[in-house]
Amino acid sequence: MQHFDSNDAVAIKESQALLNEISMEPNLTFIHSNYGFLPSTITKLESQGVSLTDSVTTVMFTKNKLEEVARDVGMKVNTKFNQFLKKILWVRNNIKNFKNFEWRKFING
């Protein structure tokens, strides 16, 4: 990025300024070392034909990896992930109620 002429475009100038910030490299290193596994994990979960056991194992692996991340950012991401899991569990636990609900009676009054 430093090889481009900053006078050619505003985006180049802004990108160069961001890359020159002292905190940029450590932040990118932190993100890569702690969250670099997520793209492949998401791809794995999106794949068709994956068994429920494998999917649950992948989610639990992700949960454990996120719990290992330190700093304030790590705690916030971990909290968000746990909130997401609670919502998923709520849906799973209440899906029977939705299946058994007599929608026709409800809709037709």
pLDDT band at residue 2 under the 50/70/90 scheme: low
Q: Exposed e or buried b for every residue in 54-91, given b needs 16+ CB within 10 A?
A: eeeebbeebeebbeebeeeebeebbeebeeeeeeeeee
Q: How many Cβ atoms are within 10 Å of 6's Cβ, its own excluded?
A: 15
Q: What is the pLDDT of residue 106?
A: 67
Please enumerate in sequence order all residues whose Cβ is within 8 A of that of 7, keeping only pairs 6 or more positions apart, or say none: 13
Say if 84 falls within a structural domain: yes
The parent domain of residue 82 ranges over 49-108
Say if 13 falls within a structural domain: yes
Q: Are 62 and 104 members of one domain?
A: yes
Q: Are 57 and 92 members of one domain?
A: yes
Q: What is the pLDDT of residues 30-69, one digit of tens each?
A: 999 999 999 999 999 999 999 999 999 999 999 999 999 9
